[in-house]
Structure 1
Amino acid sequence: MAPRRQGAAGALEDSDTRGCCVPSECLRPREPVRFEDAVRVLCNNDTCAAGRYMHRACFEQWEVGVLAYLKSCGRARSWSERQRHQNLWTKKGYDLAFKACGCRCGRGHLKKDLDWAPPGSVARADEEKKRRRRTRPGRTPAAGDGRARAFSLSSSGSCSPPSAPSEPSTSPTHQPQHALTPAKRNSKVEIVSDRIRAGAGANGIFSRRLDFSTFNLLPKHKVNSYQIKIEDEGNHGNDDTRLFILSTLAGQHKPRVTCALCEDTLHVFDRYPLVDGTFFLSPKQHTSGAVEVKVEGRTQYLTCVCMGCLERCDPERTIRCRFCSQKWDGASLVLGTMYSYDIFMATPCCADRLKCNSCYKPLLHPQQRLNYSDYSHPVTCPHCRVLDTHFVKPLTYCFTKRAYPVFQQWP
C-alpha cells in the first residue's frame, strides 16, 4: 500500500486516498479530507482503490443508515440504541450489519478502523481534560444549545387525521404516535432556499435534510408542527417509528420511494420529516413500489403518498370516488411520518365502499361508521363468512381522476 503523508493545511495525500470515500454522495465534495476531521475505514477487498477516509460528517450520516439496518437484524432487535452504537463496529454487531456497508468498489464491505486516531488527537484530548479541570465546579452551561429549533414535540394527541375525532392509532412497533405542537407560542418557521442533498446509494443511506423549503408548497397556516412531524418521540433520537421505516427501506436498499398516486420519486431522510409526504401501512399492495413488511404477524405494505397529491395542488392530482364522485382529501394528514392503517380506505364515503370482497353484499349499515384504523383490519362477512380485509380495495377500483363517477365492477 502506498505510504501516506500529510499535505498542506492538514489534507491527506496519497495514491490510495481519492477524497471522501463515503458510499453515498459526499456532503463536502469540494473539500479535501483532513486529519482533524477524518474517519478511517477499511475495505475487505484487497484490491479496493476507492479510498480509506471519510469526512466525519459524511461518516456519521452513513452510519445512521447502517444502524437502522442493524436494528432489523437478528439479536440486535432486542438491543437498546446505546448497545447498537457500542456494538456496531465490533464483531458482535458488524457480523449482522456488514451487508449495509457496501464499498464504492462494489466488491467489498467497509468497516470503521477502531485502531486509527488522527495525529494530534491524543494531545487535543489531554488539553480538553485540562480545560475542564480549570472550569469552576457547579458552573452550568448557558441556556440553549445553539441548535435552531423550529418545532418541538407534544406528549398528547394522536397521528390520526385531525379533521375528526377518533381513538389514537397504534404504531406497529410502539405507543400511539403523537401530534406536534410549536416549541414557542407565535413562533415562526424560517424557510430558506431548497438545498436538499441528493439521495444515497443502495447501501441503506438516506438523505440529510438541510432546510424545510420544500414545504413552501403548503399554505402558510399549515407550515407548523401540527401539520409537519419534526422531532423524534424518544430520547436521543430513539424513535421506533422512524427506525422501523429506515430499517425496512435499508433492508431493501431503497433510499427513495415512489408516490402511490403520481409515481413521483421522493427522497427519504434520516430524520423527521422523513419524506415530503407521508407513509402508511396497508394490507394491500397498491403499487409495485410498496415494500412488504411483517407487523405483529400480519403482512403489510409500506406505501408513500407525496405532499402534492395529499394537498391536491392541481386538478391532475385530484382523485374522486368512482361511485359518488366525492373528492378524496389528504390535506389533514400529518406530513413526514407514518400511519399504521390504509389512509385511502380510512374514510369510506359511500355504501359501495363497504361491500364484501367476496359476495359484494354490504358489511355495515349505511349510517354505521368505524374508527379510522378499523377499516384496515380483517373482518368476517356476516353473509358469506369469508374473513378478509374487506374494506381495503384496489385504488383503481375506488378512485378515478375523472370529473364524474364511473362504475366498475370489482374485481
Structure 2
Amino acid sequence: MLLKPTLLAAATAANQQQNYSDEYRKRSNTLLSNRSDKRWPKRDMGPQFELRCCIDPEILRINVDRQYYFEDETVRVNGSVFHKRNDYNNLLSIIPRAKFNGIHIKMEDDCPQGGDDVRLCLLKSLGAHNLRSIPCVQCKDELKVYDKYPLIDGVFYISPVSQFGPKTEISLDGRRFYLQQLCARCLWSDWSCKNCGKDEWFDGRSFVLGTLYYYDIVSAGRCCPSVCQTCRQPLGVRDQLATQLANGNYATINEQMTCQACGSSKFHLVRDIKTIHVARGPSFCE
C-alpha cells in the first residue's frame, strides 16, 4: 500500500528538480548574456588613425622593371628587400644600456589583436620605392630599414612638409603626409634653436625608437613665436590654437594657415629643420 504513494512522491520530486534545472539554465543564460554585454560593451573609440599606403602605380612599375627581385641577393638571403637585424651594436653605442628595453625601443607589435598594420604600411611604402635605407632629415646619415621592429635605429614620423630625402607619402585618415625620420644619435644629442638659443623645447630621449609617430615631432616643441615662413612676420596664432599646441594637440601642426601680413597660405607651424642646431656627442653615455 505504501509503494504507490512513494513512487508518486519520487516522480513529483523528479519533475520539480527538472523544472528547477530548466529555470536555472534559463537564468544562467540570461546572466551570461548580461555579463557578456557588460564585459564587452560597444563604445565609440573616437579617431581610428587609419594608416594607408600611397603608392603611385607608375613608380611601382618603374621600380619593378628596373630591379629584378628574384636575382637580388638581399631578397634571396632575407626573403625581402629589407635588412635582417643580426645585432643591436649600433643602438648600444648610442643609448645607455639602462634604456635598452621594450619601453624605450619598439621591440614587437603590442596591438591586442596581434595586428601589424603600421609595420606593413611602412615597409610597403618604402619597398614600392625600393628604399632599403633612408636619410636622417637632420644629419643626412643613412639609416638601414629592417624587416622587423625596431624598423630603424631612430624614429619615423609624418609631416605635411618634406624636409629632406625621398618624398615617400602615406595616408592618415584620408590625408596625405610625408614620411620623415630621425636617427637615434641625433635624438640623443643636444638640440637648440638657432633663432632664440633655447634648448629645452625638444626632448629626443623621450621618443620610442624604431616605430612611427603620427605627428611632426620636431614641430611639436615650441620656443619662438610662430612666424610666416614667407615674409617672417609674426603669424598671430590665435590663443585657442596656441593652447591646443601647449596641451599636446599636435594635429593642429598639419593645418594650413594664412598669413595676415602677406597672404601666404602654408603649413606655417611646421618648424624648418634648418633653424635647429644639434650638438652631436656622447655626453649622454657618461
Say whether 1:393 aligns with 2:271: yes
Deviation for aligned residue 1:210: 2.7
- How far apart, CA to CA, are the structure 1 residues paired with 2:90 and 2:114? 23
CA contact (8 A) 1:282 1:301 kept: yes
Would the alpha carbon gap of residues 208 and 221 (structure 1) be closer, same or farther in structure 2, given more than 3 Å must change?
same
- Residue identity opposite 1:278 in structure 2: V
- Residue identity opposite 1:104 in structure 2: E
The 5-angstrom pairing of residues 52-201 of structure 1 reads 102-104=69-71
- How far apart, CA to CA, are the structure 1 residues paired with 2:229 and 2:142? 32
Per the alignment, residue 162 of structure 1 pairs with none
Would the alpha carbon gap of residues 372 and 309 (structure 1) be closer, same or farther in structure 2, given more than 3 Å must change?
farther
Residue from 150, 157, 180 that aligns with 1:280 = 157
Kindly provide the CA deviation profile for residues 142-170 of structure 1, in whole angstroms up to 9, marking residues without a partner as x: xxxxxxxxxxxxxxxxxxxxxxxxxxxxx
Question: Normalized against structure 2, the TM-score is what?
Answer: 0.62
Deviation for aligned residue 1:258: 1.1
Would the alpha carbon gap of residues 247 and 199 (structure 1) be closer, same or farther in structure 2, given more than 3 Å must change?
same
- How far apart, CA to CA, are the structure 2 residues paired with 1:204 and 1:269? 10
Deviation for aligned residue 1:226: 1.3
Deviation for aligned residue 1:281: 0.7
Per the alignment, residue 23 of structure 1 pairs with none
CA contact (8 A) 1:284 1:394 kept: no
Say whether 1:324 aligns with 2:196: yes
Would the alpha carbon gap of residues 401 and 213 (structure 1) be closer, same or farther in structure 2, given more than 3 Å must change?
closer
Deviation for aligned residue 1:246: 0.2
Per the alignment, residue 238 of structure 1 pairs with 115
Q: SS of the residue aligned with 2:147?
A: coil
Q: SS of the residue aligned with 2:103?
A: coil
- Residue identity opposite 1:102 in structure 2: Y
Would the alpha carbon gap of residues 393 and 367 (structure 1) be closer, same or farther in structure 2, given more than 3 Å must change?
closer
Residue from 319, 342, 354 that aligns with 2:216 = 342
Deviation for aligned residue 1:278: 0.5
Per the alignment, residue 211 of structure 1 pairs with 87
Deviation for aligned residue 1:387: 4.3
Per the alignment, residue 254 of structure 1 pairs with 131
CA contact (8 A) 1:363 1:382 kept: no
- Residue identity opposite 2:91 in structure 1: F
Would the alpha carbon gap of residues 344 and 299 (structure 1) be closer, same or farther in structure 2, given more than 3 Å must change?
same
Deviation for aligned residue 1:376: 2.4
Would the alpha carbon gap of residues 282 and 73 (structure 1) be closer, same or farther in structure 2, given more than 3 Å must change?
closer
Deviation for aligned residue 1:330: 0.9
RMSD: 3.5
- How far apart, CA to CA, are the structure 1 residues paired with 2:224 and 2:138? 21
Kindly provide the CA deviation profile for residues 56-114 of structure 1, in whole angstroms up to 9, marking residues without a partner as x: xxxxxxxxxxxxxxx8779xxxxxxxxxxxxxxxxxxxx9xx77862328xxxxxxxxx
CA contact (8 A) 1:241 1:338 kept: yes
Kindly provide the CA deviation profile for residues 138-195 of structure 1, in whole angstroms up to 9, marking residues without a partner as x: xxxxxxxxxxxxxxxxxxxxxxxxxxxxxxxxxxxxxxxxxxxxxxxxxxxxxxxxxx
Report the identity percentage. 29
Query: Where do 5+ consecutive residues of structure 1 fail to align?
Result: 1-70, 75-94, 106-197, 313-317, 403-411
* Higher RCO (CA < 8 A, seq sep 6+): 2
Question: Normalized against structure 1, the TM-score is what?
Answer: 0.44
Residue from 221, 227, 237 that aligns with 1:363 = 237
Aligned residues: 210
- How far apart, CA to CA, are the structure 2 residues paired with 1:205 and 1:335? 21
CA contact (8 A) 1:259 1:306 kept: yes
- Residue identity opposite 2:266 in structure 1: D
CA contact (8 A) 1:345 1:375 kept: no
- How far apart, CA to CA, are the structure 1 residues paired with 2:148 and 2:204? 22
- How far apart, CA to CA, are the structure 2 residues paired with 1:377 and 1:386? 16
Would the alpha carbon gap of residues 200 and 347 (structure 1) be closer, same or farther in structure 2, given more than 3 Å must change?
farther
- Residue identity opposite 2:141 in structure 1: D
Deviation for aligned residue 1:294: 4.1
Deviation for aligned residue 1:304: 1.2
- How far apart, CA to CA, are the structure 1 residues paired with 2:54 and 2:193? 38
